[in-house]
Amino acid sequence: MLAHAPIDPAAKLDCVSYAPFRNDQTPLNPDLIVRPEQIQEDLIEIAKISQCVRTYSVDNGLDKVPELASRVGLKVLLGVWIGNGRLKNATLIDTAVSLARDYPGVIRAIIVGNEVLLHGDMTPSDLGELIRSVKARVSVPVTYADVWEYWLRYREVADDVDFVTIHVLPYWENFPVRAEAAAAHVAAIEKRVALAFPGKEILIGETGWPSMGRMREGALPSRTDQARVISEILGIAKRENFHVNLIEAYDAPWKRQWEGTVGGNWGLFDGDNRKLKYPPGVAISNYPFWKLQMGSGMALAISVFAAAGLTLRRRPWTPRLTSWIAVGMSATTAGVLLGMAAEKVYYESFGVSGWLGWGSLLAAGTASPVLCATALMSGRSLPTFLELIGPREGRTNSVATLLLGLALTVTTLMAAETALGFLFDPRWRDFPFAGLSMAAVPFLTLTLLNRPKSGTRPVAETIFVALFAATALYATFNEGPDNWQALWTAAAYLLLGATLWQARCIAVAGITTIVPADISEVGLSRESGRIQSDRSRVRSRADAAG
């Protein structure tokens, strides 16, 4: 799907939210002072697309914004970040009042507080008192900003402001709104709030759409949807004559620690290279590197077939048709999903632990179809965890089996970590559907074709199966039927769970011995004889122990 730049090069935006923090910079660091030169670089770029910037605080070096904005022709909606600390509030308000007096032609208004009622940091009466104290000291308009529902809940606050500033974020609504309905939703909320406060000007203080991250019901973050929503919001605002401040100018990596991938990707500018995401005249695609992704996927698919073919050359025999079908399914799944999985690792990995976790899942998902193709053609079954890390006497010495087991272990652990997250803290979690499916499909096909015929199900596998089944069920109902990312991830959990459900082992003479696959059925007569001999020795030891 292609789209075009949402910003008309012939008309600048009313206003856009701005925070200068880059890389590991965060406003939660009280000692951080952002260099004026860094702010100036950003404002020069913003001035090309907007008439105004909205800030949220006057500390961390943001007190320099009015002066720097005046140099590039930008107006400022000056924010004061207040909370439950009276002394800190007083200091920040004094700074804002001083700036309003020094730059009356630059500062359009002062926004006293951002979502403090939503966060429960202040009562409506205390907030109103603070707003009135600021109004008495400045000549510019004064307002307060919060989610639109909280304006309707605490209507008395409107008596103390010069205009009402509401946040309307369709993606974050309690009932998320799809991208195609987002602009109409914003316009409907603006009308609803305007009816509630007749005579008050209404400013949409925050609205927009994320370009990357997890779905919420039917609301999908994507590049094309972000461009579409912004373009349609600007169009309807112009037609119905209301003002909009978009969130936000630059992607905010520092928000990802609290809001996940989606929290850091609301910007019109890329957070890393500080360039406009959607230059005028350039087509927009959700997969700008699709050629590279397609080429990599084709190479992986060919490698899966090559692994199967090379295995047959070393051990010539005629495999069952189902074995080749399984190889084809694994190769196709891995080839189609590799580019998507790699992109998700790039955009969704946060911090060292994130890169290690998601990178390990991608590595396992890439290796699994190759290893499983080799195992299918050699008649080996998927090892159990006991065969990998159990008692020494029962461990496998096969390098190929160990590699296959390592891929299974990494996949299972990463699936378990994400599953626990979806059960106990799902709001910000990204869905690992691509990387998980790359591994789950070949594991399941291998287990169904080359599986033990007897023995008991190991405890570890049983626990993981229960976890994955519970997560799949919960995610399906919690996220809703419109969230295809959640449904796909739930299906991948079930595939992996079905694989582990097939695991079998037997206890012999006080130790655990793995029951190998009966590969006589796939035509390997030499391997069949060896396995029968191994089983005879196992039975002999069992008789002796008895």
Tens-place pLDDT, residues 253-300? 999 988 999 999 999 999 989 999 998 888 899 998 999 999 999 999
344 pLDDT above the threshold of 70: yes
Looking at residue 506, its pLDDT comes to 61
Residues near 250 by beta carbon (within 8 Å), at least 6 away in sequence: 18, 19, 42, 267, 268, 269, 270, 271, 274
What is the per-residue pLDDT across 121-138, written as a single tens digit (0 to 9) for each? 999 999 999 999 999 999
36 pLDDT above the threshold of 70: yes
Mean pLDDT estimate for the chain = 90
Lowest mean pLDDT among 58-72, 118-132, 266-280, 380-394: 380-394
Looking at residue 397, its pLDDT comes to 84
Looking at residue 395, its pLDDT comes to 84
Alpha helices (runs of H) in 379-432, residue ranges in sequence order: 385-389, 399-424
Q: Which of 131, 190, 130 is nearest to 165 (CA)?
A: 190
User: pLDDT grade, residue 507 (50/70/90)?
Assistant: low
CA distances from 541 to 384, 445, 537 (A): 22, 33, 6
User: pLDDT grade, residue 2 (50/70/90)?
Assistant: low
Determine the average pLDDT of the residues in 231-243: 96
521 pLDDT above the threshold of 50: no
User: pLDDT grade, residue 451 (50/70/90)?
Assistant: confident
Are residues 310 and 400 in contact, defined by beta-carbon separation less than 8 angstroms? no
Looking at residue 522, its pLDDT comes to 40
Residues near 466 by beta carbon (within 8 Å), at least 6 away in sequence: none
Determine the average pLDDT of the residues in 38-66: 97
| Domain span(s) for CATH 3.20.20.80 in the chain | 2-285
User: pLDDT grade, residue 453 (50/70/90)?
Assistant: low
What is the per-residue pLDDT across 162-186, written as a single tens digit (0 to 9) for each? 999 999 999 999 999 999 999 999 9
Determine the average pLDDT of the residues in 486-503: 97
User: pLDDT grade, residue 31 (50/70/90)?
Assistant: very high
Looking at residue 480, its pLDDT comes to 93
Looking at residue 481, its pLDDT comes to 95
CA distances from 347 to 214, 260, 388, 453 (A): 11, 11, 33, 43
| pTM recorded for the entire structure | 0.87
CA distances from 430 to 76, 364, 469 (A): 35, 18, 19
R_g (Cα) of the chain, nearest Å: 30
- Domain 2-285: homologous superfamily in CATH: Glycosidases (3.20.20.80)
How many whole angstroms separate alpha carbon 381 and alpha carbon 372? 9
